[in-house]
Structure 1
Amino acid sequence: MQSLLGQTHRDWRLIVRDDGSSDGSLRLVKDWAARHAVKLEILDDGLGNLGACGSFGKLLEATDAPYFAFCDQDDIWLPEKLEVMLDAIRTSGSAHNSQTPLLAYSDLVLVDEELNRIAGSFRQHCSIASLPSRLPLRRLLVHNVVTGCATLGNNALARLAAPIPEGTRMHDWWLALVAAEFGRLIDVPAQTALYRQHGRNTLGAARLGTAGALSRFAAEPLAVLKTRAAIIEGEKRQARAFHDRFLTRLSDNSREIAHGYGYLDERGLLARKAFVIRNRLKRPNFLSNLAFLATI
């Protein structure tokens, strides 16, 4: 939380939702905000534990600010984070009207629990691919490129994306889908946060490269296959949620791809694989694509 106080951009307020903590976290936040004169709002909705996606979704619904940024409290914002991201989104916004959904996203520095550097680029470490310029949904349906704590969106995006529906894998992924389809995803070429890897992360920073994937598969093949199948099922649920929410607003190509992947199980074995190949639903590397085709 100290990294919020160190921001070069100082015009912000903090909205906090307690997602079922049992260690006095909420009192710590209140005391910290009082000591530092932080503009604090506690979202007390009585809904209890909703998980990361559900809790951030409720926070998104609760703000009417012109811009929003998600803060995971085990990560550390670099001092210029808000300033850099706001500049990127405002510069891009000058080419759009205020009703265009915009989401800026940046790289991160990967560190351990004691803030020792593991990798200078989170994206490179995790083999996160760039998006195709045409129909980015082809990649986004099967590969998330944004990290929640390194994003900043505008009010138009918040209003269109919320409420985040059941079936969404993660809040940042959902926002990326909405921004890419109806507005713009803005790739900021900088690291704006330290991503702490400590073994208790909700998702974490797994290596997705060929060597790492082969090593994991050799050690626990059945567990890897089970995990891969569960990931694909989650992606299909999210694609269904996206298709069903925006059915009448999607472009023809996006509607076909979102419906096709979301309802992939309605096709036969060969038809499933043909659909993925024909529509170029691609993961970041050859091996992950091969595993994807073998699993669907």
Structure 2
Amino acid sequence: MTNRILLCTYEGEAYLEAQLASMEEQTESNFRLLLSDDASTDRSFAIGEAAAARDERITAIRRVKRSGSAARHFFEGLRDPRFFSVADESDYYLFSDQDDVWHPDKLAVEARAMRCLEARYGKELPLLVHCDMRVVDAVGREIAPSYVRYQKMSPARRHFRQLLVQNNVTGGAMLMNHALVRLLVAHPVPEHAVMHDHWIALVAAAFGRIAYLDRALYDYRQHGDNVLGAKKGSALSEIRRRLGLAGESFKEMNEKSGAAYRALFLQAEEFRRQYGKELSAEAGKTLDDFLALQHKTRIGKAVGILRGGFTFNLPHRTLGELLFL
């Protein structure tokens, strides 16, 4: 069994060396790291080459043409034969961002949790483990000890119906077993995934199991160039934004919310195209019920959301959903 890590880089020279060092210092030394650089113009690939030269566990490759997004880069890297092999049925798979710092036991703790899951459910079931993270600033000073609590997330909400509307799985926090990755690569790269981690969480929830480790296993660095950053969850501030009282008008918030919900429906439609024939009857009905919401009246949407369990994790967030969906 080998732990396979995909580290996707783009213009990441500022923090990349620290992340690579944290991986080389893992207490679980049995891993292979594929660093895939997305045609950076800075020293990202050179840093990767230097790491590969000193550590045989690391391979660095450079894309000639940009993927266009972080999500697509990870989706395409997942299918790279240097990362995934159909024959290696015992391997585990992880993603890494270029600007995080792994705690020394991240790999060991997640791999141990996956072995426990496989012992319980079997290796043929698609399984996903994910963890909490510490939120830090650009120089590594702690902002919050728990990203999950800082964002007011609810990882226990791991049912398919809940993940259709609200993702709580972060890409850098995941460890996937071979069965899950095999299922993912058996289908095309999705054109309408909100993000790669959200799509993968949906696949795991629909066909297998998700387990959360309530422990921060890496530092999630916040700086000016984050693709997605951490924003402190606050009921008051979220309500103020919804009502147009926090710098954005009610109309702007309505348009922004509408775009977010359209993205969720596009993702769900893509999911049905790709996996519809493989879904259980229950999951298929859940997906159809969710997609039907977009064609209902305001009252019909509210009834469908509450009956179908397509709610958010906090009451004020569900109220915003009822108002803006």
Question: Which segment is superposed worse, 192-201 or 75-84?
Answer: 192-201
Query: Are 1:115 and 2:133 an aligned pair?
Result: no
Match in the other structure for 1:231: 260
Deviations 1:192-235 (A, max 9, x none): 11001113211111233302313434121343332222211111
Query: Are 1:145 and 2:185 an aligned pair?
Result: no
Give the superposition deviation at 1:253.
2.6
Please, what TM-score do these two structures have when normalized by structure 2? Answer: 0.85
Give the superposition deviation at 1:16.
2.3
> 2 CA distance for matches of 1:272 and 1:214?
21
Q: Secondary structure at the match of 2:169?
A: coil
- The amino acid that maps onto 1:175 is I
How many residues are paired up? Answer: 293
Query: Are 1:194 and 2:242 an aligned pair?
Result: no
Match in the other structure for 1:175: 200
Match in the other structure for 2:76: 58
Match in the other structure for 2:113: 88
Query: Are 1:129 and 2:148 an aligned pair?
Result: no
Question: Which segment is superposed worse, 112-121 or 247-256?
Answer: 247-256
Deviations 1:153-209 (A, max 9, x none): 011111112343111111111111111121110111211110011132111112333
> 1 CA distance for matches of 2:59 and 2:119?
30
Please, what TM-score do these two structures have when normalized by structure 1? Answer: 0.93
Mapped contact 1:15–1:43 kept (Cα < 8 A):
no
Match in the other structure for 2:283: 254
Q: Secondary structure at the match of 1:95?
A: helix
Q: Secondary structure at the match of 1:70?
A: strand
> 2 CA distance for matches of 1:31 and 1:17?
14
- More relative contact order in 1 or in 2 (CA 8 Å, sep 6+)? 1
Deviations 1:3-38 (A, max 9, x none): 111111111111122223211311221122213344
Q: Secondary structure at the match of 1:146?
A: coil
Mapped contact 1:131–1:139 kept (Cα < 8 A):
no
Task: Check 1:157–1:235 CA distance in 2 against 1; reply closer, same or farther (3 A cut).
Answer: same
Query: Are 1:154 and 2:177 an aligned pair?
Result: yes
- The amino acid that maps onto 1:18 is D
Task: Check 1:132–1:25 CA distance in 2 against 1; reply closer, same or farther (3 A cut).
Answer: closer
Q: Secondary structure at the match of 1:152?
A: strand
Give unpaired runs (5+ residues) of structure 2: 1-19
Superposed, which structure 2 residues align to 1:268-283 within 5 Å?
268-283=297-312
> 1 CA distance for matches of 2:256 and 2:31?
39
Task: Check 1:49–1:101 CA distance in 2 against 1; reply closer, same or farther (3 A cut).
Answer: same
Q: Secondary structure at the match of 1:189?
A: strand
Give the superposition deviation at 1:119.
0.7
Give the superposition deviation at 1:40.
0.8
> 2 CA distance for matches of 1:38 and 1:177?
31
> 1 CA distance for matches of 2:305 and 2:217?
34
Match in the other structure for 1:42: 61
Q: Which runs of 4+ in 1 moved over 4 A?
A: none
